[in-house]
Amino acid sequence: MNTAKTYLLFLLTVLMILSYYHFYILNNNDTSRKYVSYEQSTVDKRGKHNSVLIYNRVPKTGSTSLMNIAYELYPVNGMRIVQVRLTGHKHSLTSADLITLSRNISDWSDRPILLHGHFSYFNPRKLGIEFYPIYINIIRKPLDRLVSYYYFLRYGDDVLDKVRSKAGDTTSFDQCVKLGQPDCDPKKLWMQVPFFCGSSVHCWDPGSHWALEQAKANLINNYLVVGVTEDFESFVEVLEFLLPDFFQGSMAYLSETGKSHIKKTKHKDPVSEETKKLMQSSAIYRMELEFYNFALKHFKTMKKMVKNQKSLEGKPQFVFEKVRPK
| 212/78 Cα distance (integer angstroms) | 37
CB distance 284 to 206 below 8 Å? yes
Q: Which of 127, 137, 90 is nearest to 106 (CA)?
A: 127
| 313/324 Cα distance (integer angstroms) | 30
The three-class DSSP label of residue 115 is strand
What is residue 189's DSSP assignment? G
- Known catalytic membership, residue 118: yes
Question: Which candidate in 116, 261, 267, 298 is catalytic?
Answer: 116
Length of the chain: 326
| 252/250 Cα distance (integer angstroms) | 5
- Known catalytic membership, residue 89: no
CB distance 298 to 220 below 8 Å? yes
DSSP line for 220-250: HHHEEEEEEGGGHHHHHHHHHHH-HHHHTTH
| 109/129 Cα distance (integer angstroms) | 15
* Catalytic residue positions, numbered: 116, 118
